[in-house]
Structure 1
Amino acid sequence: MKNSKRRATPVPPHASTGPAAFGRWLAHRLEGLGYDLSSPRSGGRSAFAEAAGLSPSTVTRLLRGEMPTDPRLLRTLAEAIKEPYAAVLVRAGVISPDELAAVQNPTTTNPITPDQAADELGITDPVERKVFINMVRTLARPSAATTGEEKLAD
Protein backbone atom coordinates (compact mmCIF):
# COMPACT_ATOMS: atom_id res chain seq x y z
CA MET A 1 0.00 0.00 0.00
CA LYS A 2 1.19 3.49 -0.68
CA ASN A 3 1.68 5.79 2.26
CA SER A 4 2.30 9.37 1.15
CA LYS A 5 3.44 10.46 4.63
CA ARG A 6 6.63 8.38 4.56
CA ARG A 7 9.66 10.08 3.02
CA ALA A 8 13.08 8.66 2.28
CA THR A 9 16.25 9.86 3.91
CA PRO A 10 18.43 11.38 1.18
CA VAL A 11 21.41 9.26 0.23
CA PRO A 12 24.42 10.71 -1.62
CA PRO A 13 24.12 9.90 -5.34
CA HIS A 14 27.42 8.04 -5.55
CA ALA A 15 27.57 6.33 -2.15
CA SER A 16 29.69 3.21 -2.06
CA THR A 17 27.53 0.23 -2.74
CA GLY A 18 27.28 -3.49 -2.55
CA PRO A 19 24.20 -5.67 -2.64
CA ALA A 20 23.24 -4.88 0.98
CA ALA A 21 23.83 -1.14 0.58
CA PHE A 22 21.88 -1.20 -2.68
CA GLY A 23 18.99 -2.90 -0.87
CA ARG A 24 18.99 -0.22 1.82
CA TRP A 25 19.10 2.56 -0.78
CA LEU A 26 16.25 0.96 -2.73
CA ALA A 27 14.16 0.67 0.43
CA HIS A 28 14.71 4.39 1.15
CA ARG A 29 13.80 5.22 -2.44
CA LEU A 30 10.62 3.13 -2.37
CA GLU A 31 9.56 4.63 0.95
CA GLY A 32 10.15 8.06 -0.57
CA LEU A 33 7.81 7.10 -3.38
CA GLY A 34 5.15 6.21 -0.81
CA TYR A 35 5.50 2.43 -0.58
CA ASP A 36 5.05 1.16 2.97
CA LEU A 37 7.88 -1.30 3.69
CA SER A 38 7.48 -1.26 7.46
CA SER A 39 6.63 -4.98 7.58
CA PRO A 40 6.44 -7.93 5.17
CA ARG A 41 2.63 -7.72 5.31
CA SER A 42 2.33 -3.94 4.78
CA GLY A 43 1.78 -4.43 1.05
CA GLY A 44 4.43 -1.99 -0.18
CA ARG A 45 6.67 -4.64 -1.73
CA SER A 46 3.82 -6.30 -3.58
CA ALA A 47 2.40 -2.97 -4.72
CA PHE A 48 5.79 -1.88 -6.06
CA ALA A 49 6.41 -5.24 -7.70
CA GLU A 50 3.11 -4.99 -9.54
CA ALA A 51 3.69 -1.36 -10.57
CA ALA A 52 7.21 -2.17 -11.79
CA GLY A 53 6.32 -5.40 -13.57
CA LEU A 54 8.60 -7.44 -11.31
CA SER A 55 7.83 -10.47 -9.21
CA PRO A 56 7.37 -9.86 -5.49
CA SER A 57 10.18 -12.32 -4.76
CA THR A 58 12.55 -10.34 -7.00
CA VAL A 59 11.73 -7.14 -5.12
CA THR A 60 12.23 -8.90 -1.78
CA ARG A 61 15.62 -10.26 -2.87
CA LEU A 62 16.71 -6.82 -4.12
CA LEU A 63 15.70 -5.21 -0.83
CA ARG A 64 17.56 -7.87 1.15
CA GLY A 65 20.67 -7.52 -0.99
CA GLU A 66 20.50 -11.20 -1.92
CA MET A 67 20.20 -10.88 -5.68
CA PRO A 68 22.91 -10.32 -8.29
CA THR A 69 22.51 -7.09 -10.20
CA ASP A 70 21.43 -7.87 -13.76
CA PRO A 71 21.62 -4.75 -15.99
CA ARG A 72 18.27 -5.56 -17.66
CA LEU A 73 16.59 -5.83 -14.28
CA LEU A 74 18.25 -2.60 -13.18
CA ARG A 75 16.91 -0.78 -16.26
CA THR A 76 13.37 -1.90 -15.39
CA LEU A 77 13.96 -0.88 -11.79
CA ALA A 78 15.35 2.54 -12.79
CA GLU A 79 12.28 3.26 -14.89
CA ALA A 80 9.96 2.17 -12.09
CA ILE A 81 11.61 4.35 -9.45
CA LYS A 82 12.15 7.25 -11.87
CA GLU A 83 15.91 7.32 -11.43
CA PRO A 84 18.48 7.65 -14.22
CA TYR A 85 19.64 4.21 -15.36
CA ALA A 86 23.29 5.24 -15.03
CA ALA A 87 22.77 6.30 -11.41
CA VAL A 88 21.17 2.94 -10.61
CA LEU A 89 24.09 1.11 -12.24
CA VAL A 90 26.48 3.05 -10.00
CA ARG A 91 24.35 2.40 -6.91
CA ALA A 92 24.26 -1.31 -7.71
CA GLY A 93 28.03 -1.40 -8.09
CA VAL A 94 27.88 -2.46 -11.75
CA ILE A 95 30.02 0.53 -12.70
CA SER A 96 32.01 2.96 -10.57
CA PRO A 97 31.36 6.70 -10.43
CA ASP A 98 34.70 7.20 -12.22
CA GLU A 99 33.70 4.82 -15.02
CA LEU A 100 30.39 6.64 -15.42
CA ALA A 101 32.15 10.01 -15.55
CA ALA A 102 34.59 8.72 -18.17
CA VAL A 103 31.73 7.57 -20.38
CA GLN A 104 29.68 10.73 -19.88
CA ASN A 105 32.62 13.09 -20.40
CA PRO A 106 35.11 11.39 -22.68
CA THR A 107 38.37 13.20 -23.14
CA THR A 108 40.90 12.63 -25.81
CA THR A 109 44.28 13.63 -24.47
CA ASN A 110 46.17 12.65 -27.60
CA PRO A 111 44.14 13.38 -30.72
CA ILE A 112 45.39 11.48 -33.75
CA THR A 113 46.69 13.18 -36.85
CA PRO A 114 45.07 12.78 -40.28
CA ASP A 115 48.01 10.53 -41.23
CA GLN A 116 47.41 8.32 -38.20
CA ALA A 117 43.69 8.19 -39.02
CA ALA A 118 44.49 7.06 -42.56
CA ASP A 119 46.78 4.37 -41.14
CA GLU A 120 44.07 3.20 -38.71
CA LEU A 121 41.55 3.04 -41.55
CA GLY A 122 43.95 1.12 -43.78
CA ILE A 123 44.07 3.76 -46.52
CA THR A 124 47.27 2.86 -48.35
CA ASP A 125 46.68 4.02 -51.91
CA PRO A 126 48.71 7.26 -52.26
CA VAL A 127 45.98 9.16 -54.14
CA GLU A 128 43.17 8.05 -51.82
CA ARG A 129 45.35 8.82 -48.82
CA LYS A 130 46.06 12.36 -50.07
CA VAL A 131 42.34 12.97 -50.74
CA PHE A 132 41.44 11.66 -47.28
CA ILE A 133 44.07 13.77 -45.49
CA ASN A 134 43.07 16.92 -47.40
CA MET A 135 39.40 16.31 -46.62
CA VAL A 136 40.12 15.88 -42.91
CA ARG A 137 42.18 19.06 -42.85
CA THR A 138 39.43 20.94 -44.68
CA LEU A 139 36.76 19.73 -42.28
CA ALA A 140 38.92 20.53 -39.26
CA ARG A 141 39.19 24.21 -40.21
CA PRO A 142 36.96 26.74 -38.46
CA SER A 143 33.50 26.81 -40.02
CA ALA A 144 32.58 29.39 -42.62
CA ALA A 145 30.13 30.93 -40.15
CA THR A 146 32.96 31.80 -37.76
CA THR A 147 35.41 32.95 -40.45
CA GLY A 148 32.93 34.91 -42.56
CA GLU A 149 33.63 32.82 -45.66
CA GLU A 150 30.77 31.79 -47.89
CA LYS A 151 29.61 28.22 -47.62
CA LEU A 152 30.54 25.98 -50.52
CA ALA A 153 27.30 24.04 -50.23
CA ASP A 154 25.13 27.07 -50.98
Structure 2
Amino acid sequence: MRSEEETVRQRFARLVADAVQQAGRFEGRGGQVLLAQELGMSPSSVGRMLRGETLPDPRHFETIAKTLDLNVGDLLVEAGIVSRESLATPSQTRSTGVGSRSITLEEAANALGIHTEVGREMFTAAVERLQRTERATEADDGGGAAAHA
Protein backbone atom coordinates (compact mmCIF):
# COMPACT_ATOMS: atom_id res chain seq x y z
CA MET A 1 0.00 0.00 0.00
CA ARG A 2 2.79 2.40 0.91
CA SER A 3 4.58 1.97 -2.43
CA GLU A 4 1.29 2.55 -4.31
CA GLU A 5 0.85 5.92 -2.53
CA GLU A 6 4.38 6.86 -3.48
CA THR A 7 3.72 5.91 -7.09
CA VAL A 8 0.62 8.10 -7.21
CA ARG A 9 2.46 11.02 -5.62
CA GLN A 10 5.39 10.64 -7.98
CA ARG A 11 3.16 10.32 -11.03
CA PHE A 12 1.15 13.40 -9.99
CA ALA A 13 4.42 15.31 -9.47
CA ARG A 14 5.68 14.33 -12.93
CA LEU A 15 2.44 15.38 -14.63
CA VAL A 16 2.37 18.72 -12.82
CA ALA A 17 6.09 19.35 -13.36
CA ASP A 18 5.67 18.64 -17.09
CA ALA A 19 2.77 21.10 -17.24
CA VAL A 20 4.79 23.71 -15.30
CA GLN A 21 7.59 23.36 -17.84
CA GLN A 22 5.11 23.61 -20.74
CA ALA A 23 3.60 26.76 -19.23
CA GLY A 24 7.04 28.37 -19.20
CA ARG A 25 6.07 31.24 -16.93
CA PHE A 26 7.01 29.43 -13.70
CA GLU A 27 10.59 28.67 -14.71
CA GLY A 28 13.68 30.15 -13.14
CA ARG A 29 14.18 32.16 -9.99
CA GLY A 30 10.92 32.87 -8.21
CA GLY A 31 8.91 30.57 -10.49
CA GLN A 32 7.89 28.24 -7.68
CA VAL A 33 6.83 31.20 -5.52
CA LEU A 34 4.74 32.60 -8.38
CA LEU A 35 3.17 29.18 -8.96
CA ALA A 36 2.41 28.85 -5.26
CA GLN A 37 0.71 32.27 -5.26
CA GLU A 38 -1.44 31.36 -8.26
CA LEU A 39 -2.39 28.03 -6.70
CA GLY A 40 -3.13 29.49 -3.28
CA MET A 41 -0.58 27.15 -1.72
CA SER A 42 2.58 27.78 0.25
CA PRO A 43 5.87 27.58 -1.68
CA SER A 44 6.99 24.72 0.56
CA SER A 45 3.79 22.78 -0.22
CA VAL A 46 4.35 23.31 -3.94
CA GLY A 47 7.96 22.13 -3.57
CA ARG A 48 6.90 18.96 -1.75
CA MET A 49 4.25 18.33 -4.41
CA LEU A 50 6.72 18.80 -7.28
CA ARG A 51 9.23 16.46 -5.60
CA GLY A 52 6.54 13.78 -5.28
CA GLU A 53 6.66 13.83 -1.50
CA THR A 54 3.01 14.74 -0.97
CA LEU A 55 -0.22 15.18 -2.85
CA PRO A 56 -1.90 18.56 -2.49
CA ASP A 57 -5.14 18.91 -0.62
CA PRO A 58 -7.92 17.85 -3.03
CA ARG A 59 -9.40 21.36 -2.94
CA HIS A 60 -6.36 22.47 -4.97
CA PHE A 61 -6.74 19.92 -7.81
CA GLU A 62 -9.02 22.10 -9.91
CA THR A 63 -6.90 25.22 -9.42
CA ILE A 64 -3.73 23.32 -10.33
CA ALA A 65 -5.34 22.00 -13.50
CA LYS A 66 -6.79 25.37 -14.49
CA THR A 67 -3.54 27.27 -13.81
CA LEU A 68 -1.52 24.79 -15.85
CA ASP A 69 -4.09 24.46 -18.64
CA LEU A 70 -4.87 20.82 -17.84
CA ASN A 71 -8.14 18.94 -17.69
CA VAL A 72 -8.67 18.15 -14.01
CA GLY A 73 -10.27 14.78 -14.78
CA ASP A 74 -7.41 13.73 -17.05
CA LEU A 75 -4.86 14.84 -14.45
CA LEU A 76 -6.51 12.83 -11.67
CA VAL A 77 -6.96 9.74 -13.87
CA GLU A 78 -3.42 9.84 -15.29
CA ALA A 79 -1.98 10.27 -11.80
CA GLY A 80 -3.96 7.26 -10.62
CA ILE A 81 -5.97 9.20 -8.04
CA VAL A 82 -9.36 8.28 -9.55
CA SER A 83 -10.53 5.87 -12.23
CA ARG A 84 -11.93 6.99 -15.57
CA GLU A 85 -15.19 5.18 -14.68
CA SER A 86 -15.62 7.21 -11.49
CA LEU A 87 -15.71 10.39 -13.59
CA ALA A 88 -18.33 9.07 -16.03
CA THR A 89 -21.71 10.77 -16.00
CA PRO A 90 -24.80 8.67 -15.26
CA SER A 91 -25.77 8.75 -18.95
CA GLN A 92 -22.33 7.37 -19.85
CA THR A 93 -22.68 4.50 -17.40
CA ARG A 94 -26.38 3.89 -18.07
CA SER A 95 -26.97 4.42 -14.37
CA THR A 96 -29.67 6.66 -13.01
CA GLY A 97 -27.32 7.96 -10.37
CA VAL A 98 -30.27 7.88 -7.98
CA GLY A 99 -29.56 4.62 -6.25
CA SER A 100 -29.01 0.97 -6.82
CA ARG A 101 -32.52 -0.31 -6.21
CA SER A 102 -36.01 0.67 -7.18
CA ILE A 103 -38.34 1.87 -4.45
CA THR A 104 -41.97 1.05 -3.95
CA LEU A 105 -44.76 3.58 -4.38
CA GLU A 106 -45.28 3.40 -0.62
CA GLU A 107 -41.61 4.28 0.01
CA ALA A 108 -41.84 7.12 -2.52
CA ALA A 109 -44.99 8.47 -0.86
CA ASN A 110 -43.30 8.34 2.54
CA ALA A 111 -40.22 10.09 1.19
CA LEU A 112 -42.42 12.80 -0.33
CA GLY A 113 -44.39 13.28 2.87
CA ILE A 114 -47.66 11.93 1.50
CA HIS A 115 -49.27 10.26 4.51
CA THR A 116 -53.06 10.56 4.21
CA GLU A 117 -55.02 7.72 2.67
CA VAL A 118 -56.53 9.99 0.02
CA GLY A 119 -53.14 11.50 -0.82
CA ARG A 120 -51.58 8.04 -1.18
CA GLU A 121 -54.44 6.87 -3.43
CA MET A 122 -54.08 9.94 -5.64
CA PHE A 123 -50.29 9.56 -5.76
CA THR A 124 -50.54 5.85 -6.65
CA ALA A 125 -53.18 6.50 -9.31
CA ALA A 126 -51.11 9.27 -10.90
CA VAL A 127 -47.95 7.17 -11.01
CA GLU A 128 -49.76 4.13 -12.38
CA ARG A 129 -51.36 6.31 -15.09
CA LEU A 130 -47.93 7.69 -16.02
CA GLN A 131 -46.50 4.18 -16.18
CA ARG A 132 -49.31 3.04 -18.52
CA THR A 133 -48.73 6.09 -20.72
CA GLU A 134 -45.00 5.35 -20.87
CA ARG A 135 -45.62 1.71 -21.81
CA ALA A 136 -48.07 2.77 -24.52
CA THR A 137 -45.60 5.31 -25.86
CA GLU A 138 -42.83 2.71 -26.00
CA ALA A 139 -45.14 0.28 -27.80
CA ASP A 140 -46.21 2.93 -30.33
CA ASP A 141 -44.02 2.48 -33.40
CA GLY A 142 -44.75 5.74 -35.20
CA GLY A 143 -45.91 8.46 -32.85
CA GLY A 144 -43.43 8.57 -29.98
CA ALA A 145 -43.97 10.63 -26.86
CA ALA A 146 -45.24 13.68 -28.74
CA ALA A 147 -48.25 11.75 -30.03
CA HIS A 148 -49.40 11.00 -26.48
CA ALA A 149 -48.78 14.41 -25.00
Relative to the length of structure 2, the TM-score reads: 0.61
* Structure 2: gaps of 5 or more residues: 1-6, 138-143
Distance of 2:128 and 2:110 partners within structure 1: 15
1:128 aligns with 2:98: no
Aligned with 2:8 (options 7, 13, 18) = 18
1:39-118 alignment, distance < 5 Å = 41-101=28-88, 105=92, 107-108=95-96, 111-112=102-103, 114-115=105-106, 117-118=108-109
Counterpart residue type for residue 45 of structure 2: T
Identical amino acids, percent of aligned pairs: 33
Root-mean-square deviation over aligned CA pairs? 3.6
Distance of 1:105 and 1:60 partners within structure 2: 37
Distance of 1:21 and 1:35 partners within structure 2: 22
Counterpart residue type for residue 83 of structure 2: S
Q: CA deviation at 1:96?
A: 2.2
* Residues paired across the two proteins, number: 131
CA contact (8 A) 1:35 1:45 kept: no
Distance of 2:65 and 2:122 partners within structure 1: 48
Q: CA deviation at 1:93?
A: 4.1
Q: CA deviation at 1:104?
A: 7.2
Q: CA deviation at 1:91?
A: 4.2
Aligned with 2:22 (options 17, 25, 32) = 32
Q: Please give the per-residue CA displacement for 1:86-111, whole angstroms capped at 9, x wherever unaligned.
A: 33443454432222226674504765
Distance of 2:45 and 2:102 partners within structure 1: 46
What secondary structure, in the 3-state scheme, does the structure 2 residue paired with 1:65 have? coil
Distance of 1:139 and 1:79 partners within structure 2: 45
Q: CA deviation at 1:24?
A: 0.2
* Structure 1: gaps of 5 or more residues: 1-16
Distance of 2:104 and 2:69 partners within structure 1: 43
Report what 1:147 is aligned to. Answer: 146
Relative to the length of structure 1, the TM-score reads: 0.59
Q: Higher helix share goes to which structure?
A: 2
